[in-house]
């Protein structure tokens, strides 16, 4: 079967990988000149396989209100007259109930664990390099209250081997000596030593090159404009350079998928939530952490990627563009200066901003549609790097008419009615 994939971010490229492995002829349409140039370009690099959680969580609505208007707030809300934003925001807040949170978290963890296994197989079978490390992620909590809450939640995890190791702050310093320089003090941490990290952009580029050698066609510099209907099927995609026809089409164009689906009267509840990162060269310095560190107070991730330290986070809802706003970049630099002052050449830090394709509940949409041969694999929000392999595998199963390994119900478009 000839399958068209729209979008060559980490999700589109892993989708193409599993479609090719299932024996399909695959064409990927990408508007940029290379793969992984948008949201998959400079994320926090954390592969959260045991700690995948939805953002829509109890406590988040009160945090948004408490931090409203602060330039350093982890959740920054721009109140705009944008119906799509308000509709998404209301649904997001409704998903913050304890019941919804638990259900989405359970679904995400199933998918995330499957992704770990698949990622290991991909690395083995392709031999690609992307600063992949297995040193673990240390989650740090600033206040006693948030630490105690996190410890209680950890203790409730049924499988012992999925639980992190609870550390008081002196144990955190022993686990990650780079923290001894920190002016910010934390109450304690939870160490997940089985978590992985890696550079999503390098991974996406490497897989796309591997696939090109395997015969997958990548049409770069082409923008998908419209989906073409033929009865209850999608016959192809109208692009900026003519029509591409396929037996099946998978949309992995992140937030742009919303516009493309509108051309066939389908609504997708995905909204772009902006995030920021800086990438600091660490050569000649010895103060960068070797563990990946997640600061839950400021919702920031610090990840060592070879000779670089990536610092990423913040959620800006209602941002008007994808520019790396100087005030937010400054806030990242200032916080890094406080936590890891000797990490590297902060003055050479590369700023970046990207738009997370967020669903209101925080789980991706990996789904069939009312059109027999149109599929969606997007909406991975803050977890696209962690979930890409499993969702690429799942969508290939759906396209190929096989039963996916992980129950697909929690990821269907129909959950939004
Ligand atoms: C600051 C930040 C930190 C993050 N940290 C982490 C993390 O530590 N761990 C984690 O798991 N996730 C993280 N994420 C989330 C993760 O980066 C995203 O979920 C993931 O990159 C989304 O991948 P994607 O392929 O869906 O989107 P993208 O990478 O944006 O790919 C979509 C592609 O579609 C193309 N496209 C769009 N429209 C068209 C069109 N009309 N025609 C042709 N091509 C089109 C785009 O050019 C793009 O290449 C983070 C995100 C941010 C912003």
User: What DSSP string describes 315-334?
Assistant: EEET-SS----HHHHHHHHH
Q: Are 413 and 365 in contact (CB under 8 A)?
A: yes
| Confidence at residue 365, expressed as pLDDT on a 0 to 100 scale | 98
Q: Among 267, 262, 268, 227, which Cα is nearest to 248's? A: 227
Distance (Å, rounded) from C-alpha 252 to C-alpha 158?
34
- CA dihedral (111, 116, 120, 126) in degrees, to 10, reads 50
pLDDT at 76: 86
Judgement on whether residues 217 and 328 belong to the same structural domain of the protein: no
Which of 64-73, 75-84, 345-354 is the least confident region? 64-73
Which of 358, 374, 392 is the last residue before a domain boundary?
Answer: 358
Same domain assignment for residues 188 and 241 = no
Whether 123 is covered by a domain: the verdict is no
Encode pLDDT of 284-330 as tens digits: 899 999 999 999 988 999 999 999 999 999 999 999 899 999 999 99
CA distances from residue 388 to 16, 120, 220, 351 in whole angstroms, order as listed: 11, 13, 21, 24
Boundary residue ending a domain (358, 384, 403): 358
Q: Is 377 in the pocket of ligand 1 (CB under 6 A)?
A: no
Residue 253 lies in a domain: yes
Atom of ligand 1 nearest to the CA of 222: 43
Q: Return the pLDDT at 114.
A: 96
Task: Give the CATH number of the domain where residue 255 resides.
Answer: 3.50.50.60
Q: Whose CA is nearest to atom 25 of ligand 1?
A: 9
Determine the length of the chain: 417
- What number does the ligand 1 atom closest to the CA of 382 have? 15
The residues near 145 (Cβ < 8 Å, ≥ 6 apart) are none
The helix/strand/coil state of 223 is: coil
- Distances in Å between the Cα of 113 and the Cα atoms of 31, 92, 96, 406 are 31, 25, 23, 10
pLDDT in tens, 121-145: 999 999 999 999 999 999 999 999 9
Summarize the confidence of residues 166-182 as an average pLDDT. 97
On whether the CB atoms of residues 260 and 311 are closer than 8 A, the answer is: no
Q: Which pLDDT value is given to residue 68?
A: 79
- For residue 189, how far is its CA from the centre of ligand 1 (angstroms)? 29
Asked if residues 28 and 8 have their Cβ atoms less than 8 Å apart, the reply is yes
Give yes or no: residues 161 and 186 share one domain.
yes
| Among candidate residues 216, 203, 209, 267, the one with its CA nearest the CA of residue 3 | 216
Atom of ligand 1 nearest to the CA of 379: 26
Q: What pLDDT does 74 receive?
A: 78
* Domain-embedded: residue 288: yes
Both 165 and 76 in a single domain? yes
Is the same domain home to 377 and 319? no
For 76-113, write each residue's pLDDT tens digit.
Answer: 888 889 999 999 999 999 999 999 999 999 999 999 99
Pocket lining: 208 vs ligand 1, CB cutoff 6 Å:
no
Same domain, 139 and 22: no
Distance from the alpha carbon of residue 11 to the mean position of ligand 1, in angstroms: 7
Does residue 73 sit within a domain? yes
Task: Compute the distance between CA of residue 247 and CA of residue 256 in angstroms, rounded to an integer.
Answer: 22
75: pLDDT strictly greater than 80: yes
Beta strands of 195-270 (E only): which ranges?
A: 196-197, 217-220, 224-230, 233-239, 242-245, 248-251
More confident residue, 382 or 80: 382
Whether the predicted pLDDT of 358 surpasses 90 = yes
- Residue 253 CB–ligand 1 contact under 6 Å: yes
354 CB near ligand 1 (under 6 Å): yes
Cα separation, 31 vs 257, whole angstroms: 13
Give the pLDDT of residue 284.
87
Nearest to 299 by CA among 33, 39, 70: 70
Whether residue 252 contacts residue 10, with contact meaning beta carbons closer than 8 Å, is answered with: no
Same domain, residue pair 182 and 228:
no
Flag the least confident range among 4-8, 16-20, 161-165, 389-393.
Answer: 161-165
Output the domain CATH number for residue 331: 3.30.9.10
* pLDDT score recorded for residue 223: 98
Would you state the pLDDT for residue 327? Answer: 92
CA–CA gap between residue 56 and residue 397 (Å, rounded): 28
Q: Is 127 helix (H, G, I), strand (E, B) or coil?
A: coil
Give dist(CA 10, CA 37) in Å, integer: 10
| Same domain membership, residue 383 and residue 236 | yes
Q: Could you tell me if residue 115 is inside a domain?
A: no
Q: Would you tell me the crossing angle of helices 10-21 and 200-213 to the nearest 10 degrees?
A: 30
Residue 104 belongs to a domain: no
Cα of 313 from ligand 1 centre, angstroms: 14
Range of the domain at 304: 50-96+131-196+271-358
Residue 69's pLDDT is 75
- Asked if residue 310 belongs to a domain, the reply is yes
Same domain? 259 vs 219: yes
Nearest Cα residue to 176 out of 294, 336, 278: 294
Give the pLDDT band of residue 73 (cuts 50, 70, 90): confident
CA distances from 333 to 339, 343, 345 (A): 10, 11, 11
Give nearest CA residue, ligand 1 atom 20: 384
Instruction: Kindly give the distance from the C-alpha atom of residue 385 to the centroid of ligand 1, in angstroms, as a whole number.
Output: 8
Centre of ligand 1 to C-alpha 356, Å, is 6
Residues 260 and 300 in one domain: no
> Do 224 and 88 fall into the same domain?
no
Q: How many domains does the chain have?
A: 2
Residues 306-315 have pLDDT tens digits of 999 999 999 9
Ligand 1 site, residue 383, Cβ cutoff 6 A: yes
Which one of 342, 358, 374 terminates a domain? 358
**pLDDT for residue 171:** 97
Is this model's pTM higher than 0.85 or not? yes
The more confidently predicted of residues 156 and 189 is 189
Q: Please, what is the average pLDDT of the chain?
A: 95
Does a structural domain hold residue 103? no
pLDDT tops 90 at residue 408: no
By alpha-carbon position, which residue is closest to atom 51 of ligand 1?
43
Q: Are residues 258 and 342 in the same domain?
A: no
Place of tokens 């991909």: 122
């Amino acid at each position: 079967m000839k399958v068209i994939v729209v979008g060559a971010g980490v999700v589109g490229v892993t989708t193409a990988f599993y479609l090719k492995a299932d024996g399909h002829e695959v064409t990927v349409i990408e508007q940029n000149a290379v793969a992984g140039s948008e949201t998959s370009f400079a994320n926090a690099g954390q592969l959260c396989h045991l700690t995948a959680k939805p953002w829509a969580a109890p406590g988040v609505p009160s945090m948004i209100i408490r931090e409203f208007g602060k330039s350093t707030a982890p959740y920054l809300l721009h109140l705009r007259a944008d119906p799509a934003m308000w509709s998404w925001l209301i649904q997001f807040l409704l998903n913050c109930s304890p019941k919804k949170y638990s259900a989405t978290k359970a679904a995400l963890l199933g998918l995330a664990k499957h992704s770990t296994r698949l990622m290991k197989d991909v690395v083995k079978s392709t031999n690609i390099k992307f600063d992949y490390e297995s040193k673990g992620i240390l989650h740090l909590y600033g206040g006693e209250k948030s630490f105690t809450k996190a410890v209680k939640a950890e203790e409730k995890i049924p499988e012992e081997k999925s639980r992190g190791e609870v550390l008081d702050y002196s144990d955190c310093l022993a686990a990650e000596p780079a923290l001894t320089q920190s002016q910010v003090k934390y109450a304690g941490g939870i160490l997940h030593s089985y978590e992985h990290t890696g550079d999503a952009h390098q991974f996406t580029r490497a897989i796309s090159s591997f696939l090109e050698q395997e015969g997958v066609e990548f049409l770069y510099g082409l923008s998908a404009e419209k989906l073409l209907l033929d009865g209850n099927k999608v016959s192809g995609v109208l692009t900026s350079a003519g029509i591409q026809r396929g037996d099946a089409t998978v949309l992995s164009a992140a937030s742009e998928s919303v516009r493309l689906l509108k051309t066939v009267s389908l609504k997708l509840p995905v909204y772009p939530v902006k995030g920021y990162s800086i990438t600091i060269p660490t050569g000649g310095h010895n103060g960068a952490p070797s563990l990946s560190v997640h600061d839950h107070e400021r919702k920031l991730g610090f990840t060592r990627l070879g000779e670089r330290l990536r610092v990423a986070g913040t959620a800006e809802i209602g941002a008007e563009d994808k520019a790396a706003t100087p005030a937010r970049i400054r806030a990242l630099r200032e916080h890094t200066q406080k936590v890891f002052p000797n990490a590297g050449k902060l003055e050479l830090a590369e700023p970046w901003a990207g738009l997370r394709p967020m669903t209101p509940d925080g789980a991706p949409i990996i789904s069939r549609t009312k059109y027999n041969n149109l599929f969606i694999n997007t909406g991975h929000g803050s977890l696209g790097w962690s979930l890409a392999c499993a969702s690429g595998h799942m969508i290939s199963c759906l396209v190929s008419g096989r039963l996916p390994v992980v129950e697909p119900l929690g990821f269907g478009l129909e959950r939004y009615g």
